[in-house]
Each structure stands twice: as structure tokens, then as C-alpha cells.
Structure 1
């Protein structure tokens, strides 16, 4: 069989297989072909520089590389980056964190990797971005602002180490479609350079930010930031409590194309309520994690103004009641396909809630009720009886559920493909066996290995079901 498989055919097979080191253990030939077929690698603790360079030289098809190095490894980290930029000419996606890179280093990368379309990196303060004009193919940029110093990779005489200010850059606009900024402070005014040139943004993510690089006193910079918002379709705001009210206000006034909003860990309830009441966009996806800032008023505002929702995710909601959720279900019942209520005590507190939601949301395909430790079989089983379109079900950490709930999943949800029942101590081995044996479309079950019997393993193997434990 090995003789019948040419290198080209092996190469194509390996490209279609899920990532696995096992195939490279068959023979030296398979190892060589496997290396040639790899298109992505992720290294959390890179080896020594010679070993790193040797590794890259044996992977000619790499297009995606993720490297995480310690900022304390300053003498070595720049050289790793230099080796990577020289040995991966086909690179399209690069993540190099958290070591800060200098503009001359990035200039060198632009010369060696002209096809780069996605870049995730750390930059030292003060932040400067003119080097982005050297990357005409770049569409996705993620920046972590750092107080650590960066190191240049070459001396002043090297051709690649020129001034990072490009002549005529004021007239040029970037082609960035996705921008993620982390740890931006109020006085990081270098970000204003980005706002002036990011008129094509479709996705904006702010993580642990205290500012946006401009303020109301800088009329010019603020104008360009508001201009960027007009084309935004997706916004993610995480742990930005000091600026989130202002951002929500500007989104409501300037963003008409927004379809997806994620808001985690920080948000004045008043600003969020105003946004939900006056926004002019058709939101299709909402993801909230606001333990003390999401109340029934917000859920009712969603019901009145967000009837086009397709996905609604809530984590750690402690102030909502069944009234708000039922109202939202009634308003979105025909459209909503994904519902996530993770660690929401209303699920445990009001026992008739889930059956009522099931009656309204008959078209759900994705349901996640993880970490509701008091959720009982009766409420879940009643809901599943109405939600026969489910494909993906998450019950991780629902410690009060028993085997009866899993049996109900198999009987009611005939289209189910993915089930997560990890950390559910009252679900027994026999129930897992029943689920695997009686679910014709099942593709993956997440459960402890101690609950996977030999019969379950054989059945899963025969039906190509993945058991994740």
C-alpha cells in the first residue's frame, strides 16, 4: 500500500486530515511528506534559535505561524523573529506575542513576506503605525500595547532599517478590515494615525482599553474615529469600563451597519439601555457577560428593538427574570437559531422558564445551558421536546442533570451532532452509550473518559463519532 501511494497523493491526504503527529511516525518518507504538507504551526515555547530555524526550513508550505515568547528572553526573541521572516516567504498569517517588535523589524518582515494578510503583535510605547503602509495585503491587525522596550534586528546601515515614516503617507488609506486593540491608554495618541486611514473597517475589537487614542478635545482625531464607525459590522468590547459608555453612545449615533455586538465585563447599564433603545442598526448577534449590568429593562428593550436577532448569548446574568427572556423569545422566535444562557441563575430559579422558551424557539439549532448547576431534568426535557431542530447542545457543568436528560436528548433531538456533557457527575456510563448508539447524526461527544465504555468506543469508531474527554 505504501508503494502505491505517491508523494503527491500522500501530500493531498495529509492536507485533508485533522492535525495529528501520528502519521509522521510511520516512516521517514511519511515524515518528510507530512512536513511538506503542514500549513500552520503554533509554538508556545520556541526551541533554541538553530532548532527553530531548522524546523522552519523543513516546513516549506507554512502560511500560518503563531509564536509566543517570553518578554524576558530579549536577546533571543528578535532573532527568532528574524529567522521566521526569512524562512517563511509564503506567510499569510502571523502571531508573534508578547515580545514587542520595532518598526524596522516590521519593515524587514514586509520585504520578506509580501503576502501577509493577518498580523498579531505587540508594540512598545509610544505607538507608531506608518510601517503599516508597507503591507498592502494586510486585512487583519491585532495590536497589544506594551511598556516593554523593543529591539531592532539590524544595524543602521542595513537597507531594511529605514525611517518608518513613508513619504506621502497622509494621502494613503489602509485596506484593514479587522482591527483589534489591547491595553490602549488615554494618551496613546499614535492610534489617531490609524483612525485617519481605516475607512474600510468592518470589525473593531477593544480589549482592556482606557482610551481610543483621542478625546473630545481633539476634534480632528475624533472625527476620523467616528468615520470608521460608519462601516463597522462587528464590535467587541472587553473590560473597557472607563470608555464603554462613550463607545456605546457613538455606536448608537453613527453605526448603521452593525450586526454583531459583544460586551463583556464592563458597561454602565444606563448607556447600554440607551444604545438598545436608539440604535439604528439591525443587530443579528448579541453576546453579553455583564453580571451586575444586565437587567430586565435591557431584555425588554431587546424585545422591542432587536427582532432580527439570530444569536443571543448571555453569561453570568444575575438580575434578569423570566419575563424579559420570554418577551425576547416571543419577539425573535421565528429567527433565533442560537441561544446561550451560561451561569444564569434565572434558569435555576424559575423552573417553568425553559419549557416556555422551547415553545417559542422551535427553530433553535444551537443551545448552551452550561454551568447552571441546579438545572433539573424536568425543565430541560420539556424544552427539548419542542426543540427538535437542535444540532449543538452544551450542558457542561449542569451537575443536577441525570442520565434521563441524556436519553431525552437522543430521543427528541434526532438531528443532534455535538453534545457536551462534561462535569455532570449524575450522568452515567450507560447513558453515554445510549446516546452514541441511538443518535444517527452524532459527530462529537465531550465527556469524561471514565464514562466511555468499550461498547461506546467500538460504536463511536464504527460511526466516526469523536469522543473528547
Structure 2
């Protein structure tokens, strides 16, 4: 018992030793070296050639001596499958892996996914050639079938991500949504030319995505209200951020924003920037239901007027941050009225020409941040 307590005390001390000095610890005794390795949770290694069986076996044995390793970064000019297979067989508790070596095969990635079931972050990069042509659609599907805890996946220069040959990203994205078992929290799609209702409806039907916290869509031209309403109902209890930036569905379908506002009661951040045909009545009808809203971005919404700001004051909003730059219909008196009467406002983004002297003094006295 005394030896166990002593070991735990030493490990706690090792955690507090700065990295430059920790290497000396292993030289004291074999016991200290064993304790240091068992207390190590993160390693960053540069692995030079040769990559012969003897070297790979030694590398695997070295990793085995670090049973609680959770984060590993490996860089080197080669290594390929043998290095990754050594990691898969020796690091069962691995959660974060950055493998900056040569291309690896689907087989080694499959082995990694079945052996390291706690992985939540994988980064695979290559130097030459700059593509992932060697990794086909079918070979990649095991990632979302087996790695249930993945929260971050970085792939560079990929052609598609489906289970069969895709001529665009539409099928690949739909395949990912339908088969994914990870609990997606944030989705940000910018200029997704193939995104349509089938993707949004698939998101709403996959229970793993019911905890979605943030949904950001920019320049989506193929979605309509049906898909957004279905998704809004599915994530009503979790969604805190919604961005529909330059999405013409906001202008095409009257009443859409009203329905979304009635569903998304927990919404705290809303970004409707650059919807230049958005009207006061559409926005106000949504904001009436969003009682928790703290941040609102309306940059570039040219048809909004002072009436929107007045309605927000009358509805006793909780706004702390508002962006109304490049809103041609909002004038100096509207900005002044809003700044003076919004009780929780802490930051406002607006053109300098629309700030009256009264509004400036009030903002200064209230320590309000004004961004021009």
C-alpha cells in the first residue's frame, strides 16, 4: 500500500515538472522511468527512417509502455501503413491522432478505427501527391460506422465522401448524414451548391443530430422552407445558433421565419446577413418568439427600416449585440432610439454616419462598444 501511494505521489510530481526537465526523470531509475511513462498522456514524435520490421517492433513496444496515452502526433518522411498499424495495436486509449506521414491504405485506417474506439479527432495529411485519390468512397465509410466519438475529421484534397462513385458531393453528404453515428453539434456549410431539402430532412430524421447546437448555411440556393421547418422541429430543444446568410429561401417563402421562431425557443444567436429583400414584418414576426436572443446580425439587409428596431424595443428583447451595418433603410433616429432604449445592449455595429451625438454619449456612459 505504501509503495502504491508513493507511486501516485511521484506521478503527481511528474505532472508538475516542466517538459524540458521531464526527460531527466527517466534517467534516475527504471522505476521512475516506468512511472513517468505510465503518467504520460501526450506525445509528439518525429520518426525518421529506416522503417524496417525491427524498428517498427521497437516503436510498438515503446508505445506499449505508455498505457494512458490519449494524444499522439507523428511526423516523418515515410512509414505509411506499418507505423499506423503499430499505433493501432499499441494505443487502445488514444483519443487524438495527428499522422503527418506518407499516405496510408484503407486497411490500416480500418484497423485503427476498430482498435482505437475512443478516437475523437483524426488528422491525416500527405505531402506528395497532394490528393486522396488512393482513399475511395467505399474505403472511407468505415470512419463514421466505427468511430462513434469522432468530433473532428480533417481530410485534404478529397474528391468525395460516399459509399459509391459520386459525380458531385450531394450523394456523399447524404450518405454521411444517413449513416453517421456521431453526435454532431455544429454544422457550417458555405456555398454548398448541391445542398437541397433531402439533406435537411435526413438531418432531421437522424436522432444522432438532435443535439445540434449551431446551424450555419450560407448562399444555399436549392433548399426551401419544408426542409428548414423539418430540421427546426427536430432540433428545437438544442439549437442556439442559426445563420441563414444570403439564402434566398428567406425571401422566397413568406412565413418561414415566423415558423422557425416559434420552433426555436432557445435560439441565442441569429445571423440573417445579406438577405437584401428581407422585410420588417418577416423579421419582427420571428423575433417576437425568440425571447432568449442575445446576438442579432442583419448586415446588408437593405430593406429593413427603423420599424424593426422599434418593434424589438417594444417586445422587451434581451439583445446584447446587434450588427446593422449597410442597412440602407435604417436611419440615424432609429439607431438613436434603439441605443437609448435597449437595456442590455453591449455592442452595436453600425456606420459612423448613423450615430448621433446623443447616441455616442449614451454609449460612452454605458461602456457600450460601438464598431463603425
Q: Which bracket does the TM-score occupy, shorter chain normalised?
A: 0.5 to 0.7
2:302 is equivalent to residue 399 of structure 1: yes
2:144 to 252, 263, 285: 252
> In the alignment, is the contact (CA less than 8 A) between 1:226 and 1:250 conserved in 2?
no
Residues 439, 301 of structure 1: alpha-carbon distance in 2 compared, 3 angstrom cutoff: same
Q: Is the 8 A contact 1:214 1:222 kept in 2?
A: no
Q: SS of the counterpart of 1:276?
A: helix
Instruction: Tell me by how many angstroms 1:278 deviates.
Output: 2.3
* Correspondence for 2:104: 214
Q: 5 Å matches for 1:425-464?
A: 425-464=328-367
CA-based RMSD of the aligned residues comes to: 4.4
Query: Pick from 183, 188, 192: which aligns with 1:287?
Result: 188
Conservation of the 8 A alpha-carbon contact between 1:263 and 1:288: no
Report the counterpart of residue 370 of structure 1 in structure 2: 273
2:112 equivalent to 1:224: yes
User: Counterparts of 2:74 and 2:194 in 1: how far apart (Å)?
Assistant: 24
Q: Which residue of 2 aligns with 1:351?
A: 254
Tell whether 2:226 aligns with 1:323: yes
Aligned ranges for residues 158-197 of structure 1 at < 5 Å? 169-171=62-64, 175=69, 177=71, 189=80, 192=84, 196=88
Report 1 or 2 for greater relative contact order, CA contacts < 8 Å, sequence distance ≥ 6.
Answer: 2
Cα distance in 2 for partners of 1:244, 1:434 equals: 58
1:296 partnered with 2:197:
yes
> Is the CA contact 1:330–1:360 (under 8 Å) kept in the aligned structure 2?
yes
Structure 2: gaps of 5 or more residues: 1-17, 24-36, 47-57, 125-129, 161-168
Distance of 2:258 and 2:97 partners within structure 1: 37
Task: Mark the runs of 5 or more structure 1 residues left unpaired by the alignment.
Answer: 1-91, 93-109, 115-132, 144-164
Is the Cα–Cα contact under 8 Å of residues 192 and 213 in structure 1 kept in the other structure? no
d(CA) in 1 for partners of 2:72, 2:249: 36
SS of the residue 1:339 aligns to: strand
More helix per residue: 2
Matched, 1:271 2:172: yes
Whether the 8 Å CA contact 1:195–1:221 is kept in 2: the answer is: no
Q: Residue 463 of structure 1: CA displacement?
A: 1.6
- 2:12 alignment partner in structure 1: none
Aligned residues of 1:343 and 1:372 also touching (Cα < 8 A)? yes
Alpha-carbon offset, residue 279 of structure 1: 2.2
Change in 2 beyond 3 A, CA 1:365/1:413: farther
The structure that has the greater radius of gyration is 2
Offset of residue 449 of structure 1 = 2.3
Structure 1 length-normalised TM = 0.55
The 3-state SS of whatever aligns with 1:286 is strand
Return the alpha-carbon distance in structure 1 between the equivalents of residues 97 and 222 of structure 2.
28
Q: Decide whether aligned partners of structure 1 residues 221 and 328 sit closer, same or farther in structure 2, where only a CA change above 3 A counts.
A: closer
Distance 1:138 1:285, change over 3 A: same
Q: Secondary structure at the match of 2:141?
A: helix
Could you state the TM-score of these two structures normalised by the residue count of structure 2? 0.67
What per-residue deviation string (whole Å, max 9, x for no partner) do you get for residues 255-291 of structure 1? 2234678999985221221222222233333222352
Are the equivalent residues in 2 in contact too, given 1:337–1:363 (CA < 8 A)?
A: yes
1:343-390 Cα deviation digits (max 9, x unpaired): 222112222211111121122111111222222222111111111210
Deviation at 1:297, TM superposition (A): 0.5
Contact 1:384/1:408 (8 A) holds in 2:
no
Could you tell me how far 1:168 is from its partner in structure 2? 5.8
Provide the C-alpha distance between the structure 1 equivalents of 2:328 and 2:242, rounded to a whole number of angstroms. 24
Paired with 2:65 and 2:218, the residues of 1 have a C-alpha distance of 42
Q: Would the aligned equivalents of 1:263 and 1:289 in 2 still touch at CA under 8 Å?
A: no
Alpha-carbon distance, 1:324 to partner: 0.3
Match of 1:423 among 302, 326, 331: 326
Contact 1:291–1:319 (CA<8 Å) still a contact in 2?
Answer: no
**Displacement, 1:214?**
1.0
